[in-house]
Structure 1
Amino acid sequence: MPGPEVLLYGLPLAFLAGFIDAVAGGGGTITLPTLFFMGLSPAQVVATNKLLAIFGSGSATVQYWRKGHVDRALVVRLIPLALLGSAIGASLVRFVNPDAFRTLVGVVILVVGALVLANKSFGLEDRYPGLTARTLALTLPGTFIIGVYDGFLGPGTGTFAMFLFALAGFNLVRASGNARTLNFATNLGAFTFFLIGGQMVWWIGLPMGLANALGATLGARMAMLRGSAFVKWMYGLIVLLVSARLFLG
């Protein structure tokens, strides 16, 4: 078991992860390897990461929710599908080769990122039409698929969710608010599951969670202040970070 000195680098990295996750997703690409570097077992890493993630995603959700950047009517309909997908994804781990799947997802997220950045107007204006049949036909199955991925592998879940909401017509600030809210729900569900397993390292997860929450609060406020153009720039950066994490394992 590591000593308290690991928090000297764990806290600032958790803060940074919270900041970028609140803007464009991908915070787990920083916190997961950080926890591994501390010397925790794989089970402890996954469980402790969910502990600190609920702080970050929760605080980001509060910021976006208070400023009206979460479409509550839509997100409430999507949360049950995300939770169901996450549970199914977790059960698929033993049947699918995660290394091959990781490479495939790395390619997909690079293609998605390229499409977002190549289209100069994508996500900069809010064109969400409301709860239409087309909106639900896109977001309901999309959310379920993202939930399966989150339960099975995880890195980049928030980034994929942002892309889904942007496709539905939201600007990238509102897409980020919706994605953070959805991610908070899935994190909370996973946290409950891992809590029963007893693998969380509380003395690491709680202070890193508070640092993650502070970073997420700042990141959400920065995204809302600077607008969709800033979020789009950060999105491109996170796509590269998540892809590198997936390709390198």
Structure 2
Amino acid sequence: MDISLNIILIIVGFGFLAALIDAVVGGGGLISIPALLAIGMPPSLTLGTNKLASAFGSLTSAFRFLRSGNVDLKIVLKLFPFVFLFSAGGASLATFLPAQVLKPLVIIILTLVLIYTVFKKEWGNVRTFSTLTLGKSIIFVGMMLLIGAYDGFLGGGTGSFMLFVLLMFGFDFLSAAGNAKVLNFASNLGALILFIILGQVDFVYGLIMAVSMIVGSYVGAQFAINKGVSYVKVLFIIVTALLILKNTYDYIMQILGE
């Protein structure tokens, strides 16, 4: 693809906005992926290029949350390599199985997440997490590994799913956002390596977007830390609703196109 000032402005602007939101609750792909498609990038190349930029963004926000003390290192460091591997496995699966087969299930799960978050008023306002029993640890790890595989396979809403699982186990919205970003970096990195091996990454545009995502991620994480739990919760509800609408639209268009 030829490099032009207009294209650079598009991917820088939308990359910043995507990272700003993604730093807190995930869902940045709602903005960055359509932006890359809009400049004429093929779908397969778009996914890999977006992973390159997103990996830089998630690393930046993870580092900022880590510095603020909103990351439980003992938990995320144990999970990190496994989420990485499962994401790479999910990305490899995507080369054989159409991603659209998961769309209906994703829509249902996101809808349940939204309903639960809206109607459980006090949920996520206060941290109640202390330790994990063996049984809870197995469930927690299993869910995170599935989400890691999902990120490599399809990806939309990965950060939101991770945040929701952390909330289920007693984290407040702010600490859940911090831990989710570290694990999201692991899943981004795992999928990215496979996309690079498959030759599905545009490094020029990916690195340009990565610069804007680094800035957006830092600003978003800083804003979340300053504003606290209530801000993260509201943004989580908005982004989850948008993810539902986007996935529903894509699924309907798929059916009408058949």
TM-score, structure 2 normalization: 0.91
**Residues 1:16 and 2:14 aligned together:** no
Mean CA deviation greater in 239-248 or 217-226: 239-248
The runs of 4+ residues in structure 1 deviating greater than 4 Å are 94-97
Cα contact 1:2–1:38 (8 A) shared by 2: no
**Residues 1:210 and 2:221 aligned together:** no
Equivalent residues in 2 for 1:214-225, closer than 5 Å: 214-225=215-226
Q: SS at the partner of 2:121?
A: coil
Q: SS at the partner of 1:34?
A: helix
| Pair 246,134 (structure 1): closer, same or farther in 2 beyond 3 Å | same
Give the AA of the match of 1:104: L
Partner Cα separation in structure 2 for residue 89 and residue 195 of structure 1? 15
Cα contact 1:82–1:186 (8 A) shared by 2: yes
Residue 55 of structure 1 and its aligned partner are, at CA, apart by 1.2
Residue 47 of structure 1 and its aligned partner are, at CA, apart by 1.4
**Residues 1:111 and 2:147 aligned together:** no
Partner Cα separation in structure 2 for residue 150 and residue 131 of structure 1? 25
Q: Deviation per CA, 1:21-59, whole angstroms, max 9, x where unpaired? A: 011110011111111111111221111111101111010
TM-score, structure 1 normalization: 0.94
| Pair 58,228 (structure 1): closer, same or farther in 2 beyond 3 Å | same
Cα contact 1:89–1:149 (8 A) shared by 2: yes
Give the AA of the match of 2:90: G
In structure 2, the residue matched to 1:102 is 103
Cα contact 1:162–1:179 (8 A) shared by 2: yes
In structure 2, the residue matched to 1:26 is 27
Residue 144 of structure 1 and its aligned partner are, at CA, apart by 1.3
| Pair 64,72 (structure 1): closer, same or farther in 2 beyond 3 Å | same
Q: Deviation per CA, 1:187-209, whole angstroms, max 9, x where unpaired? A: 11222222223332222111211
**Identity percentage of aligned residues:** 36
In structure 2, the residue matched to 1:235 is 236
Residue 246 of structure 1 and its aligned partner are, at CA, apart by 1.4
Partner Cα separation in structure 2 for residue 97 and residue 51 of structure 1? 22
Unaligned runs of 5+ in 2: 251-258
Cα contact 2:23–2:220 (8 A) shared by 1: yes
Partner Cα separation in structure 2 for residue 203 and residue 151 of structure 1? 22
Give the AA of the match of 1:112: V
Partner Cα separation in structure 1 for residue 46 and residue 189 of structure 2? 16
Unaligned runs of 5+ in 1: none
In structure 2, the residue matched to 1:133 is 134
In structure 2, the residue matched to 1:92 is 93
